[in-house]
Amino acid sequence: MTTTVVRAPAKINLGLSVGPLRDDGFHELATVYMALDLHDTVRVTSRDDEQVTVTVQADAQEGDEAVAVPLGPDNLAVRAVELLRGAAEVTNGVDLAIRKVIPVAGGMAGGSSDAAAALVGANHVWGLGWDREALAELAADLGSDVPFLLHGGVGIGTGRGEKISPVLSRGRYGFIVVVASEGLSTPSVYAEFDRLEPEPEAPRIAPELMSALRGHDTERLGEHLANDLEAAALSLRPELDRVLQIGLDAGALAGIVSGSGPTCVFLLEDDADAAMLTTALWAAPGCADVIHTHGPAAGARIVS
Ligand code: C5P
């Protein structure tokens, strides 16, 4: 029996430009992803029989989060290993033990990252030797952001977000993440986007965002953080507007809804600002947790 432990990073979208709805039900995107130090941990243990099991453990103070994670075949990490097993014609199963820290249904790709980590872990314990590119091809079938979570770092996502190209980025950035007590469903946020913006333009990434990342210009990065889903998330969850305002008043360089929300992310000018922001944001409406983290971080990686 072989066991491996894989780190599954959260992601934020520094820029998320949403274009027209396609015939397949997805929107054309141009996005800049960044993987964060904030991560789940996925322990993968091979089994002699062909069963795939999953358990989910959450931190004590976030105890009710695990309830929202499906434990059956609908779990994305289970679907990931089933997909790999079919493609590689493996007859063994695995036990997956997920330790959740990334907010569930929070717009930070926690479920997608667990799936990416499960692919990396199963590939290892089954001794398949597939490279990251081969895993990324499978990953796209699981969700639009799963390929990025295999790559990590900073990447541009196009298509529905699954086509990844690397970004030249220097240095590290500090962030404060505000977790909401109740998640938002991604499809409902996209549906609200369609209602508010029936004829969006073709998606594009601001060149200023790319040059800020190249030059490690934190202030400029803050000026060009952008999320086309923010108005839709705010329309469904009006109190997020107040959360963003509290963060800005407490000294954040910029604040943004992460992906489809409701998690809000604040860019720090300096890590010394973290304590004041954390205290202020704990009082924000609907706040369940405030986390200080950094990026970029590696993609799903074996840690032991
Ligand atoms: O790809 P993923 O499974 O994460 O997508 C979840 C949902 O989010 C989709 O079913 C769709 O409603 C919406 N979505 C979209 N356009 C994208 C990505 C996601 O409309 N590019």
136-158 pLDDT per residue, tens:
999 999 999 999 999 999 999 99
Inform me whether the pLDDT recorded for 96 exceeds 70.
yes
> Can you tell me the distance from the alpha carbon of 58 to that of 64, in angstroms, rounded to the nearest whole number?
8
11 is an active site residue: yes
List helix spans (H) across 128-238.
132-139, 146-151, 186-196, 207-214, 218-224, 230-236
Query: CB count, 10 Å around CB of 40?
Result: 23
% of the chain beyond a pLDDT of 90: 93
Q: What is the pLDDT of residue 174?
A: 98
Amino acid at 213: L
Residues 6+ apart with CB under 8 A from 74: none
Query: CB count, 10 Å around CB of 296?
Result: 22
Question: What confidence tens digit (pLDDT) does each residue in 196-218 have?
Answer: 999 999 999 999 999 999 999 99
163 is an active site residue: no
* DSSP character at residue 270: -
Inform me whether the pLDDT recorded for 286 exceeds 70.
yes
Ligand 1, CB cutoff 6 Å, lining residues: 26-27, 29, 143-145, 160-161, 186-187, 190
Ligand 1 atom nearest the C-alpha of 112 is: 4
37, 40, 114, 145: the active-site residue: 145
Question: What confidence tens digit (pLDDT) does each residue in 45-54 have?
Answer: 999 999 999 9
> Can you tell me the distance from the alpha carbon of 96 to that of 10, in angstroms, rounded to the nearest whole number?
18
Q: Please measure the distance between the N-terminal and C-terminal CA atoms of the chain and give it in whole angstroms.
A: 15
Q: What is the pLDDT of residue 67?
A: 55
Ligand 1 atom nearest the C-alpha of 18 is: 21
CA distances in angstroms from 113 to 109, 230, 246, listed in the order given: 6, 22, 29
> Can you tell me the distance from the alpha carbon of 205 to that of 185, in angstroms, rounded to the nearest whole number?
25
Ligand 1 atom nearest the C-alpha of 29 is: 21
The residue whose CB lies within 8 Å of the most ligand 1 atoms, and thus the one to mutate among 11, 29, 74, 144, is 144
Place of tokens 């994305």: 76
pTM: 0.96
